[in-house]
Amino acid sequence: MAMMRLRREDPRVVGTFRLHRRLGAGGMGVVYLGSDKRGQRVALKVIRPDLAEDQEFRSRFAREVSAARRIRGGCTARLVAADLDADRPWFATQYVPGPSLHDKVNEAGPLSPAQVASIGAALSEGLLAVHDAGVVHRDLKPSNILLSPKGPRIIDFGIAWATGASTLTHVGTAVGSPGFLAPEQVRGAAVTPATDIFALGATLAYACTADSPFGQGSSEVMLYRVVHEEAQLAGVPDALAPLLASCLAKDPADRPSTLSLSLRLKEIAAREAHGPSGGPLENGSGAGAGWERAERRPSDRPTGQRAEEYARQRTERGTAGTSSPRPHPSRPPAPRDAAPRPAGPASAAGKNPRKTGGRTGRRAPASRPTGRNGSRTPVRTTSGGRRPGPDRRLLRQRVIVFVVVTLLVALGIAAAQGCQGPARGLGVERPAPVAPPSGGVDGPYGVGEQNP
């Protein structure tokens, strides 16, 4: 959306929002890009001074702003705030980044049938939420549809009126765009949800042909054609022409309902997405992936030889009770009659054991020991699976060796203690040594003591 600098007469602050740029101007007032204290960006429209002095306009505007608050839907710009009692009433909606449908078609040309049907399906869902809230937009046109990265969005509910309200036809308050107005709006009759269906049909025809279905000319000429002439759909693709023709019927009762239109557009988008013209817009278009679902990916379900291989593997799993390895989707299955490749020393030499298991980074299974009868000895793991373990005979041999070594060590310790002497070993005390005679005589004080 093109932005312009603020002019001298433009306000800098409206309510709690600070204004930064001009987004555009219309019949009701000027739209600004603003932000609140939290940095949330909004599209804020300030009503024209002459309309602000009209009490009838103020009362109707207040009713419709109240109704717009009830709209819940992903395809509409949510109403953030409004001040109906200000000198110049204003309202702020969620800012939607991205070009309008009018600018996109004007720059890149007509869209493909799949893209038009996808946009129409999303917009019809948005209108369904609008109509459920009891509101009619009344001014649906290419410039009021923004192609955001999250999908198309309907904006500018400033002139939307409740169901059954009459149009503003007096001087200075005529609303709507010639070429996209419904015949009942031109006649001054009551608007209904079918009024928006007519405008949506004209908008989708513009997306297909880059022109209004009622041509170009002055406002009087365009309004006359809307009421008395049939829409020109020569450039509309055959897949969409019958449906858009029913939307542009003069009688509102002959137009499809919002729900029916949404379902039929979804069917067309799904069918046309598989055709050569169903490609998405180029990168940077601003439409984003929200409505580019017309391009669908091919099914990943296997066909042909791969499907037969999968069926054979499922049969083997059902009969043998074992799971067979599933081939990688990017690798072709091996032929059934292919002989297994023998593994020899020449083929296994020099290979990294971590990369021989099929995929990079997986370890190759180690060689499993075999028992006496040549069978592998499974061992139960903590995770519940079975893996090969050591041989039981080798385990017994290790236990025997451990016991023998333990006994030998115990005997060695006992023998070392016995070499210290038989008496100590047998528990017999030795007699105390006798002192040799020293020339003294026995006395009352003991052996070897001299007389005093």
Residues acting as catalytic residues: 139
SS3 446: strand
Among 41, 36, 33, 27, smallest CA distance to 11 is for 33
Report CA-CA distances (Å) from 287 to 74, 204, 267: 15, 15, 20
The rounded distance, in Å, linking the Cα atoms of 216 and 287 is 27
Residue 148, beta-bridge partner list? 151
CB contact set of 314 (below 8 Å; sequence gap of 6+): none
Q: How many residues does the chain have?
A: 452
Contact between residue 70 and residue 168 where contact means Cβ atoms under 8 Å apart? no
User: In angstroms, how far apart are the furthest CA atoms of the chain?
Assistant: 167
297-111-1 Cα angle (round to 5): 105
**First-residue to last-residue Cα distance in the chain:** 138
Report CA torsion sign: 252, 258, 260, 261: positive
433-435-441 Cα angle (round to 5): 145
CA-based R_g, the chain, Å: 46
Residue 18, beta-bridge partner list? 13, 35
- The first and second tokens of residue 416, run together, are 């070392």
The rounded distance, in Å, linking the Cα atoms of 63 and 76 is 19
